Amino acid sequence: MELKGKKGGHTHKCHLKLFKMFTDLRKGEAKSQVSSSPLLLTTPIHPREFQISVRCTMSKSGAMDLASNLGGKIDKSDVLTAVEKYEQYHEFHGGDEEERKANYTDMVNKYYDLATSFYEYGWGESFHFAHRWNGESLRESIKRHEHFLALQLGVKPGQKVLDVGCGIGGPLREIARFSNSSVTGINNNEYQITRGKELNRLAGVDKTCNFVKADFMKMPFPENTFDAVYAIEATCHAPDAYGCYKEIYRVLKPGQCFAAYEWCMTDAFDPDNAQHQKIKAEIEIGDGLPDIRLTSKCLEALKQAGFEVSII
Protein backbone atom coordinates (compact mmCIF):
# COMPACT_ATOMS: atom_id res chain seq x y z
CA MET A 1 0.00 0.00 0.00
CA GLU A 2 1.40 3.40 -0.89
CA LEU A 3 0.38 6.55 0.94
CA LYS A 4 0.80 10.02 -0.46
CA GLY A 5 0.09 13.07 1.68
CA LYS A 6 0.39 16.72 1.04
CA LYS A 7 2.18 19.12 3.32
CA GLY A 8 2.97 22.70 2.41
CA GLY A 9 2.51 21.97 -1.29
CA HIS A 10 4.90 19.01 -1.14
CA THR A 11 3.95 15.41 -1.41
CA HIS A 12 4.51 12.94 1.39
CA LYS A 13 4.54 9.32 0.46
CA CYS A 14 3.96 6.55 2.90
CA HIS A 15 4.43 2.91 2.16
CA LEU A 16 2.59 0.67 4.47
CA LYS A 17 2.62 -3.05 4.34
CA LEU A 18 -0.21 -3.91 6.61
CA PHE A 19 -0.25 -7.13 8.45
CA LYS A 20 -3.69 -8.42 7.89
CA MET A 21 -4.26 -10.26 11.04
CA PHE A 22 -6.75 -13.04 10.92
CA THR A 23 -7.24 -15.04 14.04
CA ASP A 24 -8.66 -18.35 15.01
CA LEU A 25 -8.93 -19.85 18.44
CA ARG A 26 -7.64 -23.18 19.47
CA LYS A 27 -7.68 -24.44 22.98
CA GLY A 28 -5.41 -22.14 24.96
CA GLU A 29 -3.73 -20.83 21.84
CA ALA A 30 -4.35 -18.08 19.31
CA LYS A 31 -3.42 -18.73 15.71
CA SER A 32 -2.44 -15.68 13.68
CA GLN A 33 -2.22 -15.46 9.93
CA VAL A 34 0.06 -12.65 9.00
CA SER A 35 -0.03 -10.96 5.59
CA SER A 36 -0.83 -13.35 2.78
CA SER A 37 1.59 -16.04 3.90
CA PRO A 38 0.30 -19.06 5.78
CA LEU A 39 2.54 -18.42 8.74
CA LEU A 40 1.40 -19.86 12.01
CA LEU A 41 2.61 -18.22 15.16
CA THR A 42 2.01 -19.31 18.69
CA THR A 43 0.95 -16.10 20.34
CA PRO A 44 2.05 -15.62 23.94
CA ILE A 45 -1.35 -15.32 25.54
CA HIS A 46 -0.40 -14.89 29.14
CA PRO A 47 2.73 -13.39 30.68
CA ARG A 48 3.22 -16.43 32.87
CA GLU A 49 2.52 -18.89 30.11
CA PHE A 50 4.72 -17.73 27.28
CA GLN A 51 5.02 -20.36 24.60
CA ILE A 52 7.13 -19.57 21.60
CA SER A 53 7.57 -22.48 19.25
CA VAL A 54 10.33 -21.11 17.07
CA ARG A 55 13.92 -22.04 16.56
CA CYS A 56 15.85 -20.04 19.15
CA THR A 57 18.59 -17.71 18.05
CA MET A 58 20.04 -17.97 21.56
CA SER A 59 21.42 -14.49 21.96
CA LYS A 60 24.18 -15.07 24.49
CA SER A 61 24.10 -11.61 26.00
CA GLY A 62 20.32 -11.69 26.19
CA ALA A 63 20.54 -15.06 27.94
CA MET A 64 23.08 -13.61 30.35
CA ASP A 65 20.74 -10.77 31.24
CA LEU A 66 17.91 -13.21 31.70
CA ALA A 67 19.98 -15.48 33.93
CA SER A 68 21.32 -12.62 36.04
CA ASN A 69 17.89 -11.04 36.58
CA LEU A 70 18.75 -7.96 34.54
CA GLY A 71 15.67 -8.54 32.43
CA GLY A 72 14.30 -5.05 32.70
CA LYS A 73 13.82 -2.29 35.19
CA ILE A 74 11.80 -4.53 37.48
CA ASP A 75 13.61 -6.11 40.41
CA LYS A 76 13.16 -9.87 40.73
CA SER A 77 11.21 -9.45 43.97
CA ASP A 78 8.73 -7.12 42.23
CA VAL A 79 8.08 -9.29 39.18
CA LEU A 80 4.97 -11.03 40.48
CA THR A 81 3.35 -7.74 41.54
CA ALA A 82 4.21 -6.24 38.15
CA VAL A 83 2.61 -9.20 36.37
CA GLU A 84 -0.53 -8.82 38.49
CA LYS A 85 -0.72 -5.07 37.83
CA TYR A 86 -0.18 -5.67 34.13
CA GLU A 87 -2.94 -8.28 34.04
CA GLN A 88 -5.41 -5.94 35.71
CA TYR A 89 -5.35 -3.70 32.64
CA HIS A 90 -6.84 -6.50 30.55
CA GLU A 91 -10.33 -7.83 29.98
CA PHE A 92 -9.75 -11.24 31.58
CA HIS A 93 -8.82 -9.52 34.85
CA GLY A 94 -11.45 -6.77 34.91
CA GLY A 95 -9.62 -4.13 32.85
CA ASP A 96 -10.96 -2.28 29.83
CA GLU A 97 -9.82 -0.44 26.73
CA GLU A 98 -10.32 3.05 28.19
CA GLU A 99 -8.11 2.24 31.16
CA ARG A 100 -5.42 0.73 28.94
CA LYS A 101 -5.46 3.80 26.70
CA ALA A 102 -5.39 6.23 29.62
CA ASN A 103 -2.41 4.35 31.16
CA TYR A 104 -0.68 3.19 27.99
CA THR A 105 2.81 4.22 29.13
CA ASP A 106 2.64 2.15 32.32
CA MET A 107 0.89 -0.78 30.66
CA VAL A 108 3.31 -1.01 27.70
CA ASN A 109 6.43 -0.45 29.82
CA LYS A 110 5.39 -3.14 32.30
CA TYR A 111 4.94 -5.53 29.40
CA TYR A 112 8.41 -4.81 27.95
CA ASP A 113 10.15 -4.68 31.32
CA LEU A 114 8.85 -8.19 31.90
CA ALA A 115 9.34 -9.61 28.43
CA THR A 116 12.40 -8.01 26.80
CA SER A 117 15.18 -10.38 27.88
CA PHE A 118 13.01 -13.32 27.03
CA TYR A 119 12.32 -11.87 23.57
CA GLU A 120 16.02 -11.34 22.98
CA TYR A 121 16.91 -14.80 24.19
CA GLY A 122 14.24 -16.59 22.21
CA TRP A 123 13.82 -14.44 19.11
CA GLY A 124 16.89 -12.29 18.59
CA GLU A 125 17.64 -8.56 18.49
CA SER A 126 14.66 -7.71 16.23
CA PHE A 127 11.27 -8.01 17.87
CA HIS A 128 9.05 -8.49 14.85
CA PHE A 129 7.57 -11.22 12.69
CA ALA A 130 8.47 -12.04 9.10
CA HIS A 131 7.01 -14.62 6.80
CA ARG A 132 9.46 -17.38 5.95
CA TRP A 133 10.17 -19.02 2.65
CA ASN A 134 11.00 -22.74 2.48
CA GLY A 135 14.58 -23.28 3.55
CA GLU A 136 14.94 -19.80 5.03
CA SER A 137 16.06 -19.44 8.63
CA LEU A 138 14.25 -17.18 11.11
CA ARG A 139 17.23 -14.82 11.12
CA GLU A 140 17.36 -14.63 7.32
CA SER A 141 13.64 -13.93 7.07
CA ILE A 142 13.90 -11.16 9.68
CA LYS A 143 16.78 -9.48 7.83
CA ARG A 144 15.02 -9.81 4.44
CA HIS A 145 11.96 -8.16 5.96
CA GLU A 146 14.10 -5.24 7.18
CA HIS A 147 15.96 -4.88 3.86
CA PHE A 148 12.63 -4.87 2.02
CA LEU A 149 11.37 -2.03 4.20
CA ALA A 150 14.56 0.00 3.65
CA LEU A 151 14.29 -0.50 -0.11
CA GLN A 152 10.62 0.52 -0.19
CA LEU A 153 11.53 3.56 1.86
CA GLY A 154 14.32 4.38 -0.59
CA VAL A 155 16.86 5.19 2.15
CA LYS A 156 20.05 6.75 0.74
CA PRO A 157 23.56 6.82 2.26
CA GLY A 158 23.98 9.60 4.81
CA GLN A 159 20.28 10.25 5.29
CA LYS A 160 18.75 10.88 8.72
CA VAL A 161 16.22 8.16 9.45
CA LEU A 162 13.85 7.68 12.39
CA ASP A 163 12.86 4.26 13.79
CA VAL A 164 9.60 4.71 15.72
CA GLY A 165 9.35 2.25 18.65
CA CYS A 166 12.79 0.76 18.02
CA GLY A 167 13.02 -2.02 20.64
CA ILE A 168 16.67 -2.86 21.37
CA GLY A 169 17.61 -1.71 17.88
CA GLY A 170 17.87 -4.92 15.78
CA PRO A 171 16.20 -3.31 12.72
CA LEU A 172 17.97 0.00 13.38
CA ARG A 173 21.43 -1.59 13.14
CA GLU A 174 20.51 -3.72 10.14
CA ILE A 175 18.95 -0.85 8.18
CA ALA A 176 21.80 1.55 9.09
CA ARG A 177 24.38 -0.94 7.78
CA PHE A 178 22.29 -1.96 4.76
CA SER A 179 21.75 1.62 3.59
CA ASN A 180 24.71 3.43 5.14
CA SER A 181 22.35 5.86 6.83
CA SER A 182 22.14 7.36 10.34
CA VAL A 183 19.23 5.95 12.26
CA THR A 184 17.75 7.43 15.43
CA GLY A 185 15.59 5.07 17.46
CA ILE A 186 12.82 6.47 19.64
CA ASN A 187 11.58 4.22 22.41
CA ASN A 188 9.88 4.81 25.74
CA ASN A 189 11.38 1.79 27.49
CA GLU A 190 14.46 2.57 29.54
CA TYR A 191 15.81 -0.96 29.76
CA GLN A 192 15.56 -1.46 25.99
CA ILE A 193 17.44 1.80 25.38
CA THR A 194 20.25 0.77 27.74
CA ARG A 195 20.48 -2.61 26.05
CA GLY A 196 20.29 -1.04 22.57
CA LYS A 197 23.16 1.37 23.29
CA GLU A 198 25.39 -1.51 24.34
CA LEU A 199 24.49 -3.52 21.22
CA ASN A 200 25.14 -0.46 18.99
CA ARG A 201 28.58 -0.13 20.54
CA LEU A 202 29.33 -3.81 19.94
CA ALA A 203 28.10 -3.55 16.33
CA GLY A 204 30.21 -0.41 15.72
CA VAL A 205 27.30 1.85 14.73
CA ASP A 206 27.30 3.96 17.91
CA LYS A 207 28.88 6.95 16.12
CA THR A 208 26.18 7.17 13.45
CA CYS A 209 23.09 5.85 15.23
CA ASN A 210 21.52 6.83 18.52
CA PHE A 211 18.57 6.26 20.82
CA VAL A 212 16.15 8.78 22.30
CA LYS A 213 14.02 7.84 25.25
CA ALA A 214 10.65 9.41 24.59
CA ASP A 215 7.00 8.77 23.83
CA PHE A 216 6.26 8.53 20.11
CA MET A 217 2.96 10.33 20.77
CA LYS A 218 4.99 13.44 21.76
CA MET A 219 8.31 13.31 19.95
CA PRO A 220 11.07 15.69 21.08
CA PHE A 221 12.10 16.58 17.51
CA PRO A 222 11.40 19.76 15.53
CA GLU A 223 9.17 19.43 12.49
CA ASN A 224 10.73 18.36 9.16
CA THR A 225 13.71 16.65 10.85
CA PHE A 226 13.98 13.26 9.10
CA ASP A 227 14.59 12.15 5.52
CA ALA A 228 12.72 8.91 6.15
CA VAL A 229 10.68 7.37 8.99
CA TYR A 230 9.73 3.77 9.61
CA ALA A 231 7.89 1.82 12.32
CA ILE A 232 7.99 -1.94 12.76
CA GLU A 233 5.18 -3.47 14.80
CA ALA A 234 5.33 -0.61 17.28
CA THR A 235 2.57 1.90 16.52
CA CYS A 236 0.05 -0.82 17.45
CA HIS A 237 0.90 0.19 21.05
CA ALA A 238 -0.32 3.76 20.46
CA PRO A 239 -3.50 4.72 22.31
CA ASP A 240 -4.59 6.66 19.24
CA ALA A 241 -3.46 5.86 15.69
CA TYR A 242 -4.21 9.31 14.28
CA GLY A 243 -2.21 11.09 17.04
CA CYS A 244 0.76 8.84 16.41
CA TYR A 245 0.72 9.09 12.59
CA LYS A 246 0.29 12.86 12.87
CA GLU A 247 3.48 13.07 14.98
CA ILE A 248 5.33 11.00 12.37
CA TYR A 249 4.04 13.31 9.64
CA ARG A 250 5.20 16.34 11.61
CA VAL A 251 8.83 15.19 11.98
CA LEU A 252 9.15 13.89 8.40
CA LYS A 253 10.57 16.28 5.78
CA PRO A 254 8.14 17.31 3.04
CA GLY A 255 8.02 14.94 0.10
CA GLN A 256 9.62 12.09 2.04
CA CYS A 257 8.32 8.61 2.97
CA PHE A 258 7.07 6.76 6.00
CA ALA A 259 7.04 2.94 5.85
CA ALA A 260 5.57 0.60 8.42
CA TYR A 261 4.67 -2.92 9.32
CA GLU A 262 1.42 -2.41 11.20
CA TRP A 263 -0.69 -4.79 13.26
CA CYS A 264 -4.37 -4.63 12.38
CA MET A 265 -7.41 -6.86 12.11
CA THR A 266 -9.21 -7.45 8.85
CA ASP A 267 -12.72 -6.13 8.47
CA ALA A 268 -13.89 -9.73 8.97
CA PHE A 269 -13.64 -9.05 12.70
CA ASP A 270 -17.14 -9.10 14.14
CA PRO A 271 -17.48 -7.14 17.43
CA ASP A 272 -20.68 -9.05 18.24
CA ASN A 273 -18.94 -12.41 17.97
CA ALA A 274 -17.84 -13.53 21.46
CA GLN A 275 -15.14 -15.79 20.07
CA HIS A 276 -13.62 -12.96 18.01
CA GLN A 277 -13.67 -10.73 21.09
CA LYS A 278 -11.95 -13.43 23.16
CA ILE A 279 -9.18 -13.89 20.61
CA LYS A 280 -8.69 -10.12 20.38
CA ALA A 281 -8.44 -9.84 24.19
CA GLU A 282 -5.90 -12.70 24.26
CA ILE A 283 -3.70 -10.98 21.70
CA GLU A 284 -3.97 -7.69 23.64
CA ILE A 285 -2.85 -9.26 26.94
CA GLY A 286 -0.20 -11.33 25.19
CA ASP A 287 1.37 -8.35 23.43
CA GLY A 288 0.84 -5.24 25.58
CA LEU A 289 -1.77 -3.67 23.30
CA PRO A 290 -4.40 -1.14 24.38
CA ASP A 291 -6.62 -2.18 21.44
CA ILE A 292 -6.28 -3.77 17.99
CA ARG A 293 -7.50 -1.53 15.20
CA LEU A 294 -9.16 -2.51 11.97
CA THR A 295 -7.14 -2.16 8.77
CA SER A 296 -9.72 0.31 7.48
CA LYS A 297 -9.35 2.46 10.64
CA CYS A 298 -5.55 2.55 10.26
CA LEU A 299 -5.87 3.62 6.64
CA GLU A 300 -8.36 6.29 7.61
CA ALA A 301 -6.04 7.58 10.35
CA LEU A 302 -3.06 7.70 7.97
CA LYS A 303 -5.02 9.69 5.41
CA GLN A 304 -6.40 11.98 8.10
CA ALA A 305 -2.81 12.61 9.27
CA GLY A 306 -1.98 13.77 5.75
CA PHE A 307 -0.48 10.71 4.03
CA GLU A 308 -1.47 9.18 0.74
CA VAL A 309 -1.50 5.42 0.80
CA SER A 310 -0.52 2.84 -1.73
CA ILE A 311 -0.33 -0.92 -1.20
CA ILE A 312 3.03 -2.59 -1.81
Chain positions contacting ligand SAM, by CB under 6 A? 108, 112, 126-128, 165-167, 170-171, 186-189, 192, 215-217, 232-234, 237
| Cα–Cα dist 128/119, whole Å | 10
Closer to ligand SAM by Cβ: residue 70 or 217? 217
Closer to ligand SAM by Cβ: residue 47 or 167? 167
Closer to ligand SAM by Cβ: residue 6 or 260? 260
Query: From the CB of 216, what's the least distance to ligand SAM, in Å?
Result: 4
Q: Which of 152, 140, 196, 146 has its CA nearest to residue 176?
A: 146
What DSSP assignment string belongs to 102-160? HTHHHHHHHHHHHHHHHHHHHT-S--------TT--HHHHHHHHHHHHHHHHT--TT-E
Query: From the CB of 104, what's the least distance to ligand SAM, in Å?
Result: 6
- Judge whether 4 and 308 are in contact, CB under 8 Å: yes
Query: From the CB of 232, what's the least distance to ligand SAM, in Å?
Result: 4
Query: From the CB of 110, what's the least distance to ligand SAM, in Å?
Result: 11
Number of residues that this document lists for the chain: 312
Query: From the CB of 292, what's the least distance to ligand SAM, in Å?
Result: 13
Closer to ligand SAM by Cβ: residue 127 or 307? 127
Closer to ligand SAM by Cβ: residue 229 or 271? 229
| Cα–Cα dist 56/31, whole Å | 20
| Cα–Cα dist 229/143, whole Å | 18
- Judge whether 39 and 28 are in contact, CB under 8 Å: no
